[in-house]
Amino acid sequence: MDIELRHLRVICTIDESGSVTKAAAALGLAQPALTAQLQRIERAIGGPLFVRDRRGTRPTALGELVLARARVLLPAVKGLQDDAAQLAGTGEIMRRYRIGATNGPIVGGLVHRLSAAHPDKQVSTHATWSADELAALVLAGKLDYALIGACADATPPAGHGLTWRAVCLDAVWVLMSDRHPLAARAEVSLAELADERWANAPGDGCFTDCFAAACARAGFTPRHIYEMDVGGCIDLVASGAGVVLCQGAFRGMPGVAMVPIAGTPLRWRHLLGWHPDSVAAAVAGEVLTLAGAAYQDVIDRRPVYARWLAANPAFGVQSTVAAG
């Protein structure tokens, strides 16, 4: 006998019920019939799956193995059936929206807008600092979309065959203590920061190299660059012990000042990626538009940066720009 999905459902029901008697009632079977079916399943698998005693029915080591596999397979098959039924029957191909994101200002607003536009759909997120990790998860079908950041001229994660589109383009500013001598300036040149200590959050892109190149063009080599999480970077700045590069759309907070860098030598794109052959591709245009709207929501809450964008129209929402 070959093991079928219905057999796996029986095994899971027995485990969840804690007894064959209760499982039989849940399945609408007579207890002798379920016991006979379990015995056939155990013979096909090669050993007993449950131990029965006065405390009920408990899985054996073999049973634990089978249950672990069943709990992966059954939801996966159910998801496949649901997606296929929607695609074939109604044309509504997205059952859920699974979004992976690196650090950035857009994902919260995108989740809100997607949930409002599709209240019957589940929206889930996955956070990481690695754009390559997100691209691999989209390729594997474990995420529908990747929302990442990259230097303005950098190529998105290659080797995954994904489609990438730019949501927006940000200027990179400098974050410093509000007690810093340059904090009140309308803008600061990169060369004026030559003696500063720097910090940045981890990532697998080229931003550190691009920053070093920009410093070299400004005539200096940056001092030691500390790598720490975003919270650590902000604490370093607030203490006056260093400065940090940030997106112009970064949320301000007490004790720190955001200052534009003259000439905007560093720029940062927010990119949305998806697999071109996935069901997510059919509605990617809507998600891209919602991501752009979520970014604009952020800008509307950043009056200083909004005024800067108004004077620099090449920056901001870039929803129609191809990214490779």
Structure confidence by residue, pLDDT tens digits, 190-245: 999 999 999 888 876 777 888 889 999 999 998 778 888 888 888 888 888 899 99
Shared domain for 84 and 122, answered yes or no, is no
Output b/e per residue, 221-231; b: 16+ Cβ within 10 A. ebeeeeebebe
Shared domain for 103 and 26, answered yes or no, is no
What's the pLDDT score for residue 318? 82
Shared domain for 165 and 265, answered yes or no, is yes
Measured distance CA(57)–CA(272) in Å, rounded: 49
Last residue of one domain, picked from the residues 89, 121, 148: 89
CA distances from 175 to 72, 199, 248, 284 (A): 45, 10, 10, 34
What's the pLDDT score for residue 89? 46
Shared domain for 37 and 175, answered yes or no, is no
Using alpha carbons only, how large is the chain's radius of gyration in Å?
27
What's the pLDDT score for residue 90? 43
The answer to whether the CB of 104 falls within 8 A of the CB of 247 is yes
Measured distance CA(229)–CA(239) in Å, rounded: 16
Measured distance CA(129)–CA(131) in Å, rounded: 7
What's the pLDDT score for residue 321? 45
Quote the mean pLDDT of the chain.
88
What's the pLDDT score for residue 229? 83
What's the pLDDT score for residue 93? 63
Shared domain for 147 and 234, answered yes or no, is yes
Last residue of one domain, picked from the residues 32, 58, 89: 89
Shared domain for 187 and 234, answered yes or no, is yes
Domain that holds residue 70: 5-89
Task: Answer whether 0.75 is exceeded by the pTM.
Answer: no
Shared domain for 43 and 121, answered yes or no, is no
What's the pLDDT score for residue 43? 92
What's the pLDDT score for residue 303? 94
* Count of structural domains within the chain: 2
Spans of the chain, pLDDT less than 70 = 81-93, 158-160, 204, 319-324
What's the pLDDT score for residue 87? 57
